[in-house]
């Protein structure tokens, strides 16, 4: 794991390694944080499932009005709870490699086997195909589908999701649709629209609203399925009240904020892509990335991904090695987060230009 405590001490670091957002936040969000703090709301516990207003705003944001939501300590708190609560009835967890490793690790604690389908392939569109899923799916499986996919930046079209859902339905599989990066995508279909009876949608405020340090997320699902999680919440004392106030304020001004966020994100992706194209390294694997990050192949030039990241860190740019997210391909790519101030993207470009093949 990275030593984020040491990195946080470096106030001049371009923080492009965790897909967090570092733009000036909406004034309304900061105001809500200050007001909640001044009212000393931090002295209270929140309702176990979160404020009703926040849950309704999240469901409206997702466009899932018939569903229910519970607020969690970050999306990862929700994922941990899903994995813990459902594990005893799961036959297997199916994820992707590359992907995000934590749900697999959570279910493994309860001896649930994990299959990570390899998706580092242009032919597969750098994502899970129904054909690949058909080879591994089994009755009672849980499919953990990250969309847009961190770290590659691919996203699923509606017809692709329909084919995946058909397989899930045939095998009574539950789908966890991790929508942490949905707000950065040009278009996005929710699995919950196609397979509501067995889909849990996970939601995060860390990326699109830039609240990573406040630890706030949610799970949405039909009341019956969500009831398996709300019966015994993982945090019955409720997620941070202060964070929930900030999230409510952010959702109320999300239209203007997202327009600007997406504009800056795209611009920075262009700067990073141009820097990669001018260098012997590359390519950027998925263009345009549907997330706030780009994956860059670095194989064939005498560098490992960890070495590239270390070299950039010396130049005050923190990017992420593929080894964090891919046992099979981690050495051959790095990930660069782009919802950051444009001078950081420019600093990345200058630092990248200093990398020479060995």
Ligand X SMILES: Cc1ncc(COP(=O)(O)O)c(C=O)c1O
Between 26 and 98, name the residue whose CB sits nearer to ligand X: 98
Closer to ligand X by CB, 51 or 144: give it: 144
Stretch that binds ligand X, among 72-80, 111-119, 155-163, 295-303 (CB under 6 A): 72-80
Q: Exactly one of 58, 62, 71, 75 binds ligand X (CB under 6 A); which one?
A: 75
For ligand X, give the closer residue by CB, 181 or 352.
181
Q: How many CB atoms lie within 10 A of CB 298?
A: 24
Shortest separation between residue 74's beta carbon and ligand X, angstroms:
3
Q: What is the three-class DSSP state of 65?
A: coil
Q: What angle do CA 21, 216, 195 make, to 5 degrees?
A: 100
297-336 binders of ligand X (CB under 6 A): none
Indicate whether 279 belongs to the interface with ligand X (CB under 6 A). no
Q: Which one, 14 or 349, has the nearer CB to ligand X?
A: 14
Of 73-81, 131-139, 164-172, 257-265, the window that binds ligand X (rule: CB under 6 A) is 73-81
Measuring CA to CA, how many Å separate 47 from each of 80, 219, 294?
20, 15, 38
> Please, which contacts does 50-59 make with residues 24 or more away whose CB atoms are closer than 8 Å?
50/218, 50/238, 50/239, 50/244, 51/244, 51/248, 53/248, 54/244, 54/247, 54/248, 54/251, 55/218, 57/247, 57/248, 57/251, 57/252, 58/203, 58/218, 58/220, 58/251, 59/220
HSE toward the beta carbon, residue 331, CA cutoff 13 A? 7
- 289 scored as a contact of ligand X (CB under 6 A): no
User: Binding mask 97-136 vs ligand X (x if CB under 6 A, - otherwise)?
Assistant: ---x------------------------------------
Q: Which is nearer to ligand X, 51 or 303 (CB)?
A: 51
CA geometry: angle 253, 73, 256, nearest 5 deg: 10
Closest to 265 in 3D by CA, of 153, 172, 356: 153
Asked if 19 touches ligand X (CB under 6 A), the answer is yes
**Chosen residue from 217, 233, 250, 330 binding ligand X by CB under 6 A:** 217
CB nearer to ligand X: pick between 26 and 148: 148
Among 204, 244, 269, 321, binds ligand X (CB under 6 A): 204
Among residues 178, 239, 281, 285, the one that binds ligand X under rule CB under 6 A? 178
Nearest residue (beta carbon) to ligand X = 74
For residues 131-170, which are near ligand X according to CB under 6 A? 146, 150
The DSSP secondary-structure symbol of 45 reads P
| Residue choice 21, 199, 206, 321 for contact with ligand X (CB under 6 A) | 206
CA distance 105 to 102: 5
Dihedrals φ, ψ of 106, to 5°?
Answer: -65, -45
Strand-strand pairing, 317-318 and 199-204? unpaired
| E strand residue ranges, 263-316 | 293-297
**Gap between the Cα atoms of 45 and 54, Å rounded:** 15
Does 268 sit near ligand X (CB under 6 A)?
Answer: no
| Interacting residue with ligand X among 29, 69, 70, 76 (CB under 6 A) | 76
Q: Is 36 in the site for ligand X (CB under 6 A)?
A: no
Residue 154 or 204: the one with the smaller Cβ distance to ligand X is 204
Size of the site for ligand X (CB under 6 A): 13
- In DSSP terms, which residues pair with 201 in a beta bridge? 177, 220
- In the complex, the smallest distance separating the C-beta of residue 104 from ligand X, rounded to whole angstroms, is 12
Q: Which residues here bind ligand X, judged by CB under 6 A?
A: 19, 74-76, 100, 146, 150, 178, 180, 204, 206, 212, 217
């Amino acid at each position: 794991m990275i030593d984020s405590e040491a990195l946080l001490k470096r106030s001049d670091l371009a923080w492009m390694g965790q897909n967090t957002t570092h733009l000036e936040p909406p004034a309304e969000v900061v105001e809500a944080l200050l007001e909640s703090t001044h009212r000393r709301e931090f002295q209270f516990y929140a309702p176990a499932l979160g404020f009703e207003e926040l849950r309704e705003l999240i469901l409206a944001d997702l466009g899932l009005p018939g569903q229910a939501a519970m607020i969690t300590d970050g999306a990862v708190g929700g994922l941990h709870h899903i994995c813990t609560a459902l594990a005893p009835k799961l036959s297997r967890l199916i994820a992707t490699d590359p992907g995000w490793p934590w749900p697999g690790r959570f279910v493994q604690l309860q001896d649930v086997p994990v299959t990570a389908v390899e998706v580092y392939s242009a032919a597969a569109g750098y994502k899970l195909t129904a054909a690949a899923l058909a080879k591994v799916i089994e009755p009672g499986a849980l499919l953990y589908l990250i969309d847009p996919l961190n770290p590659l930046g691919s996203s699923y079209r509606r017809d692709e999701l329909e084919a995946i859902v058909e397989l899930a339905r045939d095998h009574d599989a539950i789908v966890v649709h991790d929508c942490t990066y949905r707000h950065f995508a040009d278009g996005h279909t929710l699995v919950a629209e196609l397979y509501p009876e067995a889909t849990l949608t996970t939601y995060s405020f860390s990326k699109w609203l830039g609240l990573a340090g406040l630890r706030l997320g949610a799970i949405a699902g039909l009341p019956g399925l969500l009831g398996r999680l709300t019966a015994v919440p993982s945090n019955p004392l409720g997620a941070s009240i202060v964070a929930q106030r900030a999230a409510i304020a952010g959702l109320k001004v999300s239209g203007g904020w997202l327009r600007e966020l997406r504009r800056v994100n795209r611009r920075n992706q262009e700067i990073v892509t141009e820097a990669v194209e001018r260098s012997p390294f590359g390519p950027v694997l998925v263009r345009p990335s549907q997330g706030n990050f780009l994956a860059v192949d670095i194989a064939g030039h005498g560098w490992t991904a960890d070495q590239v990241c270390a070299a950039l860190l010396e130049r005050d740019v923190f990017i992420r090695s593929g080894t964090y997210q891919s046992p099979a391909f981690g050495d051959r790519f790095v990930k660069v987060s782009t919802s950051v101030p444009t001078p950081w993207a420019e600093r990345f470009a200058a630092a990248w230009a200093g990398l020479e093949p060995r």
